[in-house]
Amino acid sequence: MSTNYYAYGPFPGGQTHSEGLHIGQSAAGWRFLFHSHPDLGLTTLADWDAFISRDDVTIRNEYGVDISPEEMRETMTETTSREGRALQRRFHYDNDDQYVTSGGHSFSRRDFH
Say how far residue 88 (Cα) sits from the centre of its chain: 16
Taking CB atoms within 8 Å and a gap of at least 24, the contacts of 58-61 are 58/7, 58/8, 58/9, 59/5, 59/6, 59/7, 59/8, 59/23, 60/5, 60/6, 60/8, 60/20, 61/3, 61/4, 61/5, 61/6
Residue 36 lies in a domain: yes
Name the residue type at position 70: E
| pTM greater than the 0.75 cutoff | yes
Give the range of the structural domain holding residue 8, as residue numbers without chain letter: 2-108
Over residues 54-100, the pLDDT tens digits come to: 999 999 999 999 999 999 999 999 887 778 788 787 777 778 888 88
Decide if 113 is inside a domain. Answer: no
Residue 14 counted as domain residue: yes
Segment 30-53, tens digit of pLDDT: 889 999 999 999 999 999 999 999
For residues 6 and 22, what is the distance between their CA atoms, to the nearest angstrom?
Answer: 4
Q: Of 12, 98, 4, nearest to 51 (Cα)?
A: 12
Based on the structure, what is the number of domains in the chain? 1
Q: Which amino acid is at 6?
A: Y
